[in-house]
């Protein structure tokens, strides 16, 4: 089989190796689709403190069960199509017991602690099965769309923690795949008006094309003061109830506090790259305006269930967000900062 191994920062090798053995209590999956995440781009270019190299990245996983361990249970069969939750939580620590598995003290994940989906096959260990990490894909849903489950589950987590409710005004800073999904989930929840913004004119044009039916406005926000005035004009001078920072730009995090309404919520959904300068945020605005500032990453197995159902039932469209389908041989180009800054949205590695 072929696999793409990250040997070091900025060094990816495609190798021919033998098939991994299926563990007696686990599964072997033949990969059908693995989405490229912004986190993968960060890891390729900057590394990650939890990652021990070499490693096969890729955690937006969809495939077909190729082998079932004797002790894996009767719920799985060879040929069954499944999407796999990225995170593997312990079920026992204080955060798992509090219902926050993405904060698990013993959290592991595909593409970090276990080889991920940038390979023809990958292994699902027993602990992933134990925490309900393997999700059957409905027959009518294609593999590439199913692989978006992981990202949408993170979106669900973010909006649940922020407390999105019907009728609230929403501003999404960043119009990449996460921003688009945030807009679509907010619309499905009954929020509105919904605004999107980005510093890239190409991204703004793309968002206008894809979200014209749900967005009250899509704006360029490279000039913070002009953008602030624009948002206030569109919200009767008060700002938005919910501001979701769906990008890793420090300036967007600082800007968010300036355009949120009193008693509103800012969610720092996108982490900043390693080495970024500290973010200067007006803490008096938070204090006097009763603003909540939260952050979210990851998701729970239950939120992955919700995400897969939203996609499969047609409540959240994802197929038009998949703007590139590539093979392993093109993966390194897709992980470079130069390529990642382009106008495309979601790129998925697919396998014959």
Q: What is the pLDDT of residues 280-317, one digit of tens each?
A: 899 999 999 999 999 999 999 999 999 999 999 999 99
Residue 312 lies in a domain: no
Same domain, 121 and 173: no
**Could you give phi then psi for residue 55, rounded to 5 degrees?**
-155, 145
Integer Cα distance of 334 and 349 in angstroms: 10
Q: What CATH number should be reported for the domain holding residue 136?
A: 3.90.180.10
Same domain, 90 and 27: yes
Q: Average the pLDDT over 237-245 and give the result.
A: 98
List the domain range (segments joined by +) for residue 77. 2-148+318-350
Integer Cα distance of 304 and 214 in angstroms: 24
* Count of structural domains, the chain: 2
pLDDT digits (tens, 9 = 90+) for 93-123: 999 999 999 999 999 999 999 999 999 999 9
C-alpha 149 chain-centroid distance: 9
pTM of the model: 0.95
Residue 196 lies in a domain: yes
Give the chain's length: 352
Asked if pLDDT for residue 337 goes beyond 80, the answer is: no
Same domain, 342 and 211: no
Helices (H), the chain: 38-46, 94-97, 126-130, 143-146, 149-162, 177-189, 201-211, 224-234, 250-256, 283-289, 301-312, 331-335, 337-340
pLDDT band at 124 (very low <50, low <70, confident <90, very high): very high
The confidence score (pLDDT) of residue 274 equals: 74
Residue 300 lies in a domain: no
Same domain, 285 and 343: no
Same domain, 84 and 59: yes
The pairing of beta strand 292-295 with beta strand 260-268: parallel
Same domain, 264 and 322: no
Integer Cα distance of 94 and 154 in angstroms: 21
Residue 130 lies in a domain: yes
Same domain, 185 and 283: yes
Residue 306 lies in a domain: no
The confidence score (pLDDT) of residue 47 equals: 87
């Amino acid at each position: 089989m072929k696999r793409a191994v990250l040997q070091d920062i900025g060094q990816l090798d495609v190798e021919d190796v033998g098939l991994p053995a299926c563990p007696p209590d686990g599964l072997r999956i033949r990969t059908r689709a693995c989405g490229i995440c912004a986190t993968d781009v960060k890891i390729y270019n900057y590394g990650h403190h939890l990652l021990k190299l070499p490693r096969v990245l890729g955690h937006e996983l969809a495939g077909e069960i190729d082998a079932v361990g004797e002790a894996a249970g009767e719920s799985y069969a060879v040929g069954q199509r499944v999407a796999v939750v990225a995170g593997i939580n312990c079920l026992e620590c204080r955060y798992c017991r509090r219902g926050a598995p993405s904060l698990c003290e013993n959290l592991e994940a595909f593409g970090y602690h276990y080889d991920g989906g940038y390979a023809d096959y990958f292994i699902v260990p027993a602990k992933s099965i134990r925490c309900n990490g393997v999700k059957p894909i409905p027959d009518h849903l294609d593999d590439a769309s199913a692989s978006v489950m992981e990202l949408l589950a993170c979106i669900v987590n973010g909006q649940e923690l922020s407390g999105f409710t019907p009728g609230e005004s929403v501003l999404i800073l960043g119009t990449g795949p996460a921003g688009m999904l945030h807009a679509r989930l907010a619309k499905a929840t009954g929020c509105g008006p919904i605004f999107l913004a980005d510093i890239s004119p190409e991204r703004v044009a793309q968002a206008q094309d894809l979200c014209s039916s749900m967005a009250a406005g899509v704006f360029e926000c490279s000039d913070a003061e002009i953008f602030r005035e624009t948002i206030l004009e569109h919200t009767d001078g008060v700002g938005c109830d919910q501001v979701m920072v769906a990008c890793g730009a420090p300036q967007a995090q600082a800007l968010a506090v300036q355009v949120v309404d009193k008693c509103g919520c800012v969610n720092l959904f996108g982490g900043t790259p390693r080495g970024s300068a500290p973010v200067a945020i007006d803490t008096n605005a938070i204090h006097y305006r009763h603003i909540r500032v939260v952050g979210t990453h990851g998701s729970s197995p239950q939120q992955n269930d919700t995400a897969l159902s939203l996609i499969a039932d047609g409540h959240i469209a994802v197929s038009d967000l998949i703007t590139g389908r590539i093979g392993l041989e093109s993966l390194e180009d897709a992980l470079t900062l130069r390529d990642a800054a382009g106008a495309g949205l979601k790129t998925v590695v697919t396998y014959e």
